[in-house]
């Protein structure tokens, strides 16, 4: 991909589009393997390859164009029923897509490390094995001639711009004709009297040399005149030629676009979602983020105005001006809430954006591990904040690899266990009480709590004593411990690098939760509970010393008044005994009071903590001791900037109605420290 000189803007648009088209190809070709006769799907694949070929050709990306051209050719045969979909064919196509991805990455860098010849060859090989059986002329389709020839494209555009209808005429001469080439020539002559012929296949030269066979495709620019000349005249003209067996004319624009646009988004799933993005406006994410920040400021100011209005009302009871202010305040409040909602929606993306990449992954993992898998996705339309979407992709990929590699048994083992050879893995997304729940369910062997405990003891993660006391749920939670892997042998697929602890950490950093339900022999369900947005959350405000802290409500199990009788000490550690449950205690005053604050130095003996907030992280409950509970409210998350960096135990900051800064507690890390 060397020596290309592409304007930066063009390249940016191309890369975005290519990314989109490759995504569509990846997921649709994987779907095609299971659903080889789905015409709509084939059209979609063909269109994506076609678009990609056109745009790469436009930018002079030769390798990319050749490869997509080869793909397009056999896809064309498949959609015309001349070629069967085989797994070899799918392999060749997927291999080419991987090649295209590499080529795309290499754009602009000098020299290409990739030789596309083996891919093109694999495609042709896959095409020929079956193609021979169908036995039809291998005349080049008009679409592929036109789309690889910029002159022709320009002529078509010019004709369209001049309000001419560009029409595709197909002609077939009787197979037993001895004058086929003559008849084709005559047909072209007839058509030539009605319009401007743009291109023919076979070419005029081939026809004159009698190399033309008995079929003809013609592209003609044709001026329709109301009441006098119509497209059907073209067909009539061709039919005047002797021995014409079949003649057909249709508008050219239908060729590369779907003839019938389906409006039913739900039925088409992610394919439709991908298509929809082409009708939407692209906005720079940064711009969206800065708008979101402005809305955040508005929310804070609204809260302040409300507070001031309340103060004024107390001071000037019954004053008309204050009343008017109150009304305006309420109205602004409503508008701001609506604006916030719209901004949140503008930042939403359907999870289909990432789900679409998973069928391919599932197929690859299943092949590599000799598993058979039926992978289905559901709820692709479910929308979630784009920042969250970006951050759950890797964790989900990891879970999916695990589900197939470790969850599903090999086909023969499944058969012996009385299960279907093909394992089922289902990835679904849905709304649930103000959250998004993404579930990955497999019908594999499940997780054996007893085996886990044993392995954890062997690895020294827990003591035998602790293992004996552990409930099954707690034992299963062990998989989220760092350095813990249940696989007997680590394979290439699941690898060692990232573990479930990393998965849990990334979900928690999004204020989300991951839980697992499992049954030995029946399979497992991993559930991710995620907030709809990262920009705001419902928080519990608590006071400790002079500071107010926000705790995301999603972690809060309950709040309890701290009675002296709750406190116990186990091995020098303070714990809370709440209704027989022993919970580690974390005093926020210890956390805060590490250094003397201007004013009176904090006396560590002076305990004024009156409440405990029970937070749950994974399967672990922790009691946070606080001085008092302040309020529950919508918290706007603000960055503390790079200079403060990541202070352990603090997830960010927010500004309260009175202008005070409240720190947002990083509950997951506090729970670990307790």
Find the shortest distance in angstroms from Cβ 304 to other proteins. Answer: 9
Q: Residue 465 corresponds to which tokens in the numbers above?
A: 């004593």
Task: Return the number of the residue (104 or 587) whose C-beta is nearest other proteins.
Answer: 587
Q: 601 CB contacts (<8 Å, ≥6 apart)?
A: none
Find the shortest distance in angstroms from Cβ 668 to other proteins. Answer: 15
Task: Return the number of the residue (354 or 653) whose C-beta is nearest other proteins.
Answer: 653
As a whole number of Å, the end-to-end CA separation of the chain is: 55
Find the shortest distance in angstroms from Cβ 27 to other proteins. Answer: 37
| Per-residue binding letters, 492-531, with other proteins (x by CB under 8 A) | ----------------------------------------
Residue in 194, 662, 667, 668 binding other proteins, rule: CB under 8 A: 662
Cα–Cα distance measured from residue 282 to residue 7, given in angstroms and rounded to the nearest whole number: 19
With tokens 């590599």, the residue in question is 368
Asked whether the beta carbons of 486 and 455 are under 8 A apart, the reply is yes
Find the shortest distance in angstroms from Cβ 344 to other proteins. Answer: 19
Distance (Å) of CA 1 to CA 37, 52, 115, 131, 198: 36, 16, 11, 32, 32
DSSP-derived 3-state class of residue 185: helix
By C-alpha distance, which of 136, 30, 149, 40 is closest to 85? 30
541: which strand partners? 550, 631
Task: Return the number of the residue (183 or 638) whose C-beta is nearest other proteins.
Answer: 638
Q: Is 50 a catalytic residue?
A: yes
Window of 184-192, 205-213, 423-431, 640-648 that interacts with other proteins by CB under 8 A: 640-648
Cα–Cα distance measured from residue 382 to residue 350, given in angstroms and rounded to the nearest whole number: 5
Find the shortest distance in angstroms from Cβ 391 to other proteins. Answer: 18
Q: Which of 44, 50, 255, 398 is catalytic?
A: 50
Window of 40-48, 174-182, 381-389, 632-640 that interacts with other proteins by CB under 8 A: 632-640
Find the shortest distance in angstroms from Cβ 641 to other proteins. Answer: 5
Find the shortest distance in angstroms from Cβ 297 to other proteins. Answer: 5
Window of 26-34, 212-220, 353-361, 639-647 that interacts with other proteins by CB under 8 A: 639-647
Task: Return the number of the residue (302 or 453) whose C-beta is nearest other proteins.
Answer: 302
Residue in 57, 67, 638, 657 binding other proteins, rule: CB under 8 A: 638
By C-alpha distance, which of 249, 232, 239, 245 is closest to 187? 239
Residue in 112, 454, 547, 577 binding other proteins, rule: CB under 8 A: 547
Find the shortest distance in angstroms from Cβ 548 to other proteins. Answer: 8
Task: Return the number of the residue (301 or 574) whose C-beta is nearest other proteins.
Answer: 301
By C-alpha distance, which of 47, 40, 29, 140 is closest to 85? 29
With tokens 């350095």, the residue in question is 483
Task: Return the number of the residue (32 or 663) whose C-beta is nearest other proteins.
Answer: 663
How do strand 373-378 and strand 423-432 relate by DSSP bridges?
parallel
Task: Please say whether the dihedral angle defined by the alpha carbons of residues 31, 37, 41 and 45, taken in this order, is positive or negative.
Answer: positive
> Considering CB under 8 A, how many residues would be counted as binding other proteins?
30
Task: Return the number of the residue (194 or 635) whose C-beta is nearest other proteins.
Answer: 635
Q: Which of residues 641-660 bind other proteins (CB under 8 A)?
A: 641-650, 653, 655, 659-660
Distance (Å) of CA 61 to CA 1, 103, 271: 7, 9, 26
Q: 189 CB contacts (<8 Å, ≥6 apart)?
A: none
DSSP-derived 3-state class of residue 264: coil
**Residue 604 is a binding residue for other proteins (CB under 8 A):** no
Q: Which of 44, 66, 69, 72 is catalytic?
A: 72
Q: 590 CB contacts (<8 Å, ≥6 apart)?
A: 604
Find the shortest distance in angstroms from Cβ 336 to other proteins. Answer: 14
Task: Return the number of the residue (36 or 593) whose C-beta is nearest other proteins.
Answer: 593
Q: Is 402 a catalytic residue?
A: yes
617: which strand partners? 620
Q: Which of residues 561-600 bind other proteins (CB under 8 A)?
A: 591-592, 594-595, 597-598
Cα–Cα distance measured from residue 559 to residue 548, given in angstroms and rounded to the nearest whole number: 16
Q: 261 CB contacts (<8 Å, ≥6 apart)?
A: none
By C-alpha distance, which of 514, 585, 575, 588 is closest to 549? 588
Cβ burial, residue 665 (10 Å; 0-12/13-18/19+):
buried
Find the shortest distance in angstroms from Cβ 333 to other proteins. Answer: 17
Task: Return the number of the residue (261 or 643) whose C-beta is nearest other proteins.
Answer: 643
Q: How many other CB atoms sit within 10 Å of the CB of residue 510?
A: 17
Window of 2-10, 28-36, 374-382, 638-646 that interacts with other proteins by CB under 8 A: 638-646
Residue in 613, 663, 667, 668 binding other proteins, rule: CB under 8 A: 663
Q: Is 66 a catalytic residue?
A: no
Task: Return the number of the residue (369 or 543) whose C-beta is nearest other proteins.
Answer: 543
| Per-residue binding letters, 283-302, with other proteins (x by CB under 8 A) | --------------x--xx-
Q: How far is Cα of residue 379 from the mean position of the Cα atoms in its chain? A: 12
Cβ burial, residue 84 (10 Å; 0-12/13-18/19+):
middle
* Residue numbers annotated as active site: 50, 72, 402
| Binding positions for other proteins, rule: CB under 8 A | 297, 300-301, 547, 591-592, 594-595, 597-598, 638-650, 653, 655, 659-663
């Amino acid at each position: 991909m060397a020596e290309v000189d592409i304007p930066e803007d063009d390249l940016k648009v191309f890369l975005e589009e290519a990314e989109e088209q490759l995504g569509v190809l990846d997921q649709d070709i994987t779907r095609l393997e299971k659903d080889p006769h789905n015409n709509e799907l084939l059209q979609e694949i063909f269109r994506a390859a076609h678009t990609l070929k056109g745009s790469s050709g436009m930018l002079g990306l030769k390798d990319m164009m050749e490869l997509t051209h080869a793909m397009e050719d056999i896809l064309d045969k498949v959609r015309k029923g001349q070629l069967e979909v085989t797994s070899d064919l799918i392999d060749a196509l997927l291999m080419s897509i991987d090649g295209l991805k590499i080529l795309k990455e290499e754009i602009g860098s000098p020299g290409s490390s990739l030789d596309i010849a083996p891919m093109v060859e694999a495609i042709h090989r896959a095409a020929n094995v079956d193609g021979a059986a169908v036995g039809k002329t291998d005349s080049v389709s008009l679409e592929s001639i036109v789309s690889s020839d910029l002159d022709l494209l320009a002529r078509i555009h010019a004709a369209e711009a001049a309000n001419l209808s560009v029409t595709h005429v197909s002609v077939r001469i009787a197979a037993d004709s001895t004058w086929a080439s003559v008849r084709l020539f005559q047909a072209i002559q007839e058509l030539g009297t009605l319009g401007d012929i743009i291109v023919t296949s076979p070419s005029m030269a081939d026809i004159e040399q009698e190399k033309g066979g008995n079929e003809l495709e013609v592209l003609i620019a044709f001026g329709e005149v109301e009441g006098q000349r119509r497209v059907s005249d073209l067909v009539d003209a061709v039919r005047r030629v002797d021995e014409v067996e079949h003649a057909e004319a249709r508008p050219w624009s239908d060729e590369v676009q779907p003839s019938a646009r389906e409006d039913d988004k739900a039925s088409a799933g992610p394919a439709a979602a991908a298509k929809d993005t082409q009708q939407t406006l692209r906005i720079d994410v940064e711009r969206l983020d800065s708008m979101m920040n402005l809305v955040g400021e508005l929310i804070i100011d609204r809260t302040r105005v409300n507070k001031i209005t309340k103060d004024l009302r107390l001071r000037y009871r019954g004053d008309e001006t204050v009343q008017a202010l109150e009304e305006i305040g309420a109205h602004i409040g409503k508008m701001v809430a609506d604006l916030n909602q719209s901004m949140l929606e503008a930042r939403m993306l359907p999870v289909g954006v990432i789900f679409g990449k998973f069928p391919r992954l599932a197929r690859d993992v299943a092949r590599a591990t000799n598993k058979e898998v039926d992978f289905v996705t559901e709820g692709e339309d479910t929308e979630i904040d784009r920042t969250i979407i970006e951050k759950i992709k890797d964790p989900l990929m990891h879970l999916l690899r695990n589900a197939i590699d470790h969850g599903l048994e090999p086909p023969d083992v499944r058969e012996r266990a009385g299960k279907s050879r093909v394992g089922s893995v289902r990835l679904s997304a849905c709304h649930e009480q103000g959250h998004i729940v993404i579930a990955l369910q497999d019908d594999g062997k499940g997780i054996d709590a007893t085996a886990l405990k044993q392995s954890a003891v062997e690895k020294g993660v827990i003591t035998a004593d602790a293992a004996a006391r552990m409930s099954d749920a707690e034992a299963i939670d062990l998989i989220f411990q760092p350095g813990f892997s249940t696989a007997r042998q680590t394979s290439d697929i699941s690898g060692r690098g990232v573990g479930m602890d990393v998965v849990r950490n990334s979900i928690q950093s999004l204020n989300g939760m991951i839980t697992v339900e499992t049954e030995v022999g029946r399979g497992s369900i991993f559930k991710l509970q995620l907030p709809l947005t990262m920009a705001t959350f419902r928080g519990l405000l608590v006071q400790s010393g002079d500071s107010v802290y926000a705790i995301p409500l999603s972690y809060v199990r309950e709040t309890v008044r701290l009675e002296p009788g709750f406190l116990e000490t186990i091995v020098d550690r303070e714990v809370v005994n709440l209704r027989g449950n022993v919970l580690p205690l974390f005093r926020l005053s210890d956390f805060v009071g590490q250094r003397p604050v201007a004013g009176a130095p904090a006396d560590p003996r002076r305990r004024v903590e009156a409440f405990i907030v029970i937070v749950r992280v994974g399967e672990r409950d922790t009691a946070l001791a606080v001085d008092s509970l302040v309020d529950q409210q919508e918290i706007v998350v603000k960055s503390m900037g790079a200079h403060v960096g990541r202070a352990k135990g603090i997830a960010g900051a927010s500004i309260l109605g009175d202008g005070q800064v409240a720190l947002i507690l990083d509950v997951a890390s506090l729970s670990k420290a307790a």
